[in-house]
Amino acid sequence: MSGPTRRPQSSARDAAGSGARLAWLDVLRGLAALAVVFDHTSYYVLHHVRTIVYQWFDPGNYGVFVFFIISGYIVPASLERKGSVRTFWVSRLFRLYPLYLLAVGIAVALYFAHFGSIRGEDSDPGTSILSQLLMMSNVLEGKNLPNVVWSLSYEMVFYLLLTALFIARVHKRSSWYALGFAAAAVAIGGVLPQAFFTHNVATPRLIALVADLAVMAGLAFAVVLRGTSRLAGAAIAAVVAITLLAFNGGWIWPWEALSILALMFTGTMFYRAERGEYPWRRAVVIGVTVLGLAIVAGLWHSRAWGMSAHAELLWSRRWISAFALAGLTFAAGLAFRHVRWPRVLTWLGLISYSLYLLHPLVIEVYHHYSWTRQPHPFGLQVMLAAGLLAIMIAVSSLTYLSVERPMQDVGRRVGRWLDGRLGPDRIPDAVPVRQPAMAGRGHPATD
């Protein structure tokens, strides 16, 4: 459990000066986004490289695991720095939704232009809209449009849970939460059902409708009300979110979902260690333990799939290496957090949310125009991959500059306007944290 505040480390506070950026987080975001881009692009180009890499390593899993640790590290810092649930959620809304809606809109437009599939969403548009309304499609039996938005479901679950913990003033027990979710992944992650409610209780549309209303009502109570009513609202939203994660998950398994939450709270624990609120030595031991438990959960529960010995060996290698390298990547980032990084690397972090959400759409267009379904010569594959990446970065830079950054500014202005009209919304005893203004995120964002 994260104990009482110890002697603050001046270096951590200096690094968090007003207006500064944590460049090392941007570098990690950019690296994670590139790993996910490679995972999806290599289905169409660099086939031989993909075959070799996937003998040992799953870059897609690695990338999202790094993103989840970063979310755990910085999102609680954003909430604690603001000290206001209302301001936090206003910033979330303007940070995440504009680009998310743009990505969904482009995906639908490409479908109607016959450039790609929207994976069955057209068969029941009402259910699709309800499942994606709160970015929780993967725990509401949605189809994930675009396909990468599955990860946003677990981001939203984390935000809702974090809000309830913050209002209850028990948000600093990060190590306990990390260990608890990791242990749950091992102990019960293999027996929890997938999509239980939508397959056994009611139609997917009704489940999505009830879940949306419950979460929005609870969140509205948490944002608007005070005292016990505020806590009750936040608790309702958090309980609904955790219940959906445990009993109504989409294509990832319950033990994977629980491991994701464990990773996020591990990131939070390291944030507290850097601030001097938690012993570094204990944080390292618990971090390694959480990664170990998550690996064990996957190795143990995946045996129920009945894979062949060879397939099980390959899957085990990829699962172990993705978790281990994600942990090592974050550790390296922490170790070199005071290094001055080149602008080109930090820029990839700034545009990483756009890169994450929009790269599948670029791939859809490429796939539509690909003049042959046969593998290209390797040299041509390298050129195509480089060209696709250049287009993805250019498009992502454009959407960051024209959509993400302006809407973040609007969110800050709206937050200040609401403070002026409704008064400050700080949780009693919540001490504002002096942290940098951190925008940009590979897959969902941080400020």
Q: Three-state SS across the chain?
A: CCCCCCCCCHHHHHHCCCCCCCHHHHHHHHHHHHHHHHHHHCCCCCHHHHHHHCCCCCHHHHHHHHHHHHHHHHHHHHHHHHCEHHHHHHHHHHHHHHHHHHHHHHHHHHHHCCCCCCCCHHHCHHHHHHHHCCCCHHHCCCCCCCHHHHHHHHHHHHHHHHHHHHHCCCCCCHHHHHHHHHHHHHHCCCCCCCCHHHHHCCCHHHHHHHHHHHHHHHHHHHHHCCHHHHHHHHHHHHHHHHHHHHHCCCCCCHHHHHHHHHHHHHHHHHHHHHCCCCCHHHHHHHHHHHHHHHHHHHHHHHHHHCCCHHHHHHHHHHHHHHHHHHHHHHHHHHHCCCCCCCHHHHHHHHCHHHHHHHHHHHHHHHHHHCCCCCCCCHHHHHHHHHHHHHHHHHHHHHHHHHHHHHHHHHHHHHHHHHHHHHCCCECCCCCCCCCCCCCCCCCCCCC
Minimal CA–CA distance to 246: which of 320, 327, 189?
189
Residue-level pLDDT at 14: 38
What pTM did the predictor assign? Answer: 0.89
C-alpha dihedral sign at 310, 311, 315, 318:
positive
CB 66 within 8 A of CB 24: no
Residue-level pLDDT at 427: 72
Residue-level pLDDT at 442: 38
Residue-level pLDDT at 141: 77
Residue-level pLDDT at 119: 58
Residue-level pLDDT at 120: 53
Residue-level pLDDT at 116: 67
Helix 150-167 vs helix 254-274: crossing angle, to nearest 10: 50
What distance in Å separates the CA atoms of residue 366 and residue 75, rounded to the nearest whole number? 35
Question: Consecutive sets of 10 residues in the chain, 447 residues long: mean pLDDT of each?
Answer: 38 37 90 96 90 94 97 92 90 95 90 70 72 92 84 96 95 96 96 89 91 96 90 96 93 94 97 94 97 96 90 95 97 92 93 96 87 73 94 98 96 90 70 42 44
Residue-level pLDDT at 255: 95
Residue-level pLDDT at 3: 41
Residue-level pLDDT at 178: 98
In the chain, what's the furthest Cα-to-Cα distance?
65
Burial class (CB in 10 A: 0-12, 13-18, 19+), 373: exposed
**Count of residues in the chain:** 447
CB 28 within 8 A of CB 330: yes
